[in-house]
Amino acid sequence: MKKACFSIMINAPKEKVWNVLWGEQTYGQWASVFSPGSHAQSDWQEGSQVVFSSANGGSMYSQIAQQTLHEYISFQHLGQVKDGQQQPFDQNNQDWAGATENYTLRQIGNTTELTVEMDVPENHQAYFAETFPRALEKVKELAEA
C-alpha cells in the first residue's frame, strides 16, 4: 500500500468546502465521480461509523478516527457490508484493511486548500490517480457555486 496525495485550491471558505464534502445533498454529487449513486451515512462525529455506499450495492464501513470540525477528518476503513451485515476485510480484499483516508482543509485568505491523503493498494493506484482529481474538481465546482 502506498500513500497518495491530492490537493486543490477552492475559492470558498473552509466551512463551505466542509459542508460540500460531507453534506447530505452534496456528498453524492462529488462522490458520484467514483461511483454513480454514491452516498454516506454517519453523524460525522469522531469515533462514529460511516457507511459509504454506491448504487450498485457495494458498501464499505469506516470509522472516523479523528476530526476537527471544518479542518480535518480521518477515516479508517474497516470492512464491507454484504447482505446487510458488516464484514471486516478478509483475505480477498485484505489490501484495504486498516487503510486511512484523511481530508485537511486550510484557509488561506479567501481560499481553502483541500488536501486528501490516503492509503491506496497497488492495484488501485492508477484508478485513484485519474479519478480523485476529477472528484476534487467537482467539490470545487459545488463550493464555488
Q: Report domain extents, the chain.
A: 2-144
Cell of 142: 459545488
- This prediction has a pTM of 0.93
DSSP code string of 108-144: ETTEEEEEEEEEE-GGGHHHHHHHHHHHHHHHHHHHH
> Can you tell me the distance from the alpha carbon of 125 to that of 123, in angstroms, rounded to the nearest whole number?
6
Q: Which CATH architecture group holds 2-144?
A: 2-Layer Sandwich (3.30)
pLDDT at site 56: 79
Report phi then psi at 31, rounded to 5. Answer: -75, -15
DSSP character string of 54-75: -TTS-EEEEEEEEEETTTEEEE
Tens-binned pLDDT, residue by residue, of the chain (145 aa): 899 999 999 999 999 999 999 999 999 999 999 999 999 999 999 999 999 998 877 789 999 999 999 999 999 999 888 877 888 887 666 778 789 999 999 999 999 999 999 999 888 999 999 999 999 999 999 999 9
